[in-house]
Amino acid sequence: MNLTILHLYPKEMNLYGDHGNVLVLKRRCEWRGIKVNIIEHNIGDELPAKCDIIFGGGGQDSGQQRIAEDLRNNGKALKAWAEDGMPTLLVCGIYQLFGNFFKMQDGVTIEGISVLDIETEAGDKRLIGNIVIESGKFGDIVGYENHSGLTELGNDIKPLGKVTRGYGNNGSDGAEGVFYKNTIGTYMHGPLLPKNPRIADFLIKTALERKYGAQKDFEKLPDKLEQKARKIAMERPR
């Protein structure tokens, strides 16, 4: 078996080690004997005809401005993949641009690609610190957030989880991220997946099922170090 991971804009959107999420997916596949091909999509590149998992990381406002036109040029294909259930992980800046728009502090609005019914405006302070959320799908999710964007969800889109410690999408409504079909959007950097192997395995297993059918014998991994990292992260002060 083999999987192809599409990594969106690794040069511009790799804040706080978000590239580590791709490395986690690759290694957890390899431990199971699954071959992995990573395709990096940079500005001006053509999207591949096919892929199995999509990842995009965070970046500064300037990085978002640089990629915005190319992202919109490829928006139709990316939206079609999301609607078809492509397992996708979007962090911070890419999360914002997969929504309807991101309005920066200077009033400039970057049009998104409306894969997710969300709207984001820059706030006047940064929301920073360790974060824990409760997710019906993945249990407790732990991570680190550092953003000024205030994201509001549309009426028909569900959050990834409920904040139990931290700020989340906007610091006021108790929600963090989104979970839409098989697309996960989040403000958690760090990167996210080393401390949350259930999410990594959801992306991998979903990709395998879409490509090869039911995965009844999907191998569980011991995850002793991952669980230790989770425990430490959950005990850290903000």
Residues with a catalytic annotation lie at 92, 189
Angle subtended by helix axes 20-30 and 197-212, to nearest 10: 60
Query: What is the rounded CA–CA span in Å between residue 1 and residue 169?
Result: 37
* Helix, strand, or coil (residue 232): helix
Q: Are 44 and 71 in contact (CB under 8 A)?
A: no
- Paired with 142 in beta bridges are 132
User: For residue 227, how many other CB atoms are within 10 A of its CB?
Assistant: 12
Q: What are phi and psi of 29, to 5 degrees?
A: -70, -50
Show the DSSP H helices in the chain as ranges: 20-30, 61-73, 75-83, 93-97, 197-212, 224-235
Q: Are 176 and 168 in contact (CB under 8 A)?
A: yes
User: For residue 48, how many other CB atoms are within 10 A of its CB?
Assistant: 12
Query: What is the rounded CA–CA span in Å between residue 148 and residue 170?
Result: 9
